[in-house]
Structure 1
Amino acid sequence: MFRGKAELIDPETGKAVATFTEEGQEMKVVLKHPQTISGTTRLAIYGTEKDEELIAIAAEGGDETTVREFHGPSPLGSLTNGAEISLTRSPGGKLGSLLEVLGKGTVHQEKHRSH
């Protein structure tokens, strides 16, 4: 089973904005600083291998929601070692294709630790 990790770096500031982990097809994003979303706003992880959304979170019922982390199974399967990913923010709705890149990173396979 593939276990990967990536630090997602803001392309404008060079600072880490989130940590991405994957174990099998279960993916998780932990943000360094919480993001507030509302209405139809979405945060998502996109993979460049398949150029599609891997996991996402939207405001709950359109209400203002503070996001510290999000996770879920990837509908597209596991990533590979060296896969490029991006953390994006979208206003959703009719402007759903408008993506702001919050962070980018490369997934690296984690070594299994022995006890």
Structure 2
Amino acid sequence: MAWLLLIGAGLLEIIWAIALKYTGGFTRFWPSVIGITAAVVSFVMLTLALKNLPVGTAYAVWVGIGALGVALAGIVVFGDSASPLRLSLLGLILIGIIGLKVIET
């Protein structure tokens, strides 16, 4: 259950980070509400996951899911660079997330 909470928290991190792009410095209501809500729920889920997972592992996975997801969204939605080097480095983040899950089970 802790890993499901952690994955959910990481996915919500993607949502709040992308929502920040649309808030206009928190001047746009709905993107701001979505971003703040997703951030709060993400933190709560991370906190609950920390009851059963080591803090270093949980935080690294949470940040990794968020970073990987936001970077991929940037490529797909915002036209960010998808160079082979960038994709390779994002692949390393994915390998790190999977590796941390494997050693903690």
TM-score, normalised via structure 2 length? 0.25
Higher helix share: 2
Higher strand share: 1
